[in-house]
Amino acid sequence: QVQLVESGGGLVQAGGSLRLSCAASGRTFSGYAAGWFRQAPGKEREFVAGISRTGGTTDYGDSVKGRFTVSRDNAKNTVLLQMNSLIPEDTAVYYCAVPLRMGSSISDLRSGRRYWGQGTQVTVSS
């Protein structure tokens, strides 16, 4: 079992930045890929960013490439999402996620079953 708690959401003007943090507890965090999804009102949850177990490989959704950066600190059991050049379309609830399977990859994060955090609201005003 892995427990995930997000923080760092809030209200920001377009063009601004926010940094989200996800604290993980439970099993060995370094044994899992990790990442972020988001869900806007009336839309399906979508993949935002993923990072491999060691942090050596990252992947991003097309709409955030070049603006968002995902990182992790396995010593602190945290995964971060730095969001720059925010636009109103980034408004959503952001969820931290970890695949169920230890030894998982970013591909598992994208398409497999996952542990989820409770979510944190990000609102970008125009």
pLDDT tens for 90-116 read 999 999 999 998 888 999 999 989 999
CB atoms < 10 A from the CB of 43, how many? 9
Characterise 13 by phi-psi region: left (phi > 0), alpha (psi -120 to 50), beta (else): beta
- Span 79-97, mean pLDDT? 98
Burial 55-71 (b: 16+ CB within 10 A, else e): eeebbbbeebeeebbbe
Whole-number average pLDDT of the chain? 95
Does residue 34 surpass a pLDDT of 90?
yes
pLDDT tens-digit map of 20-30: 999 999 768 89
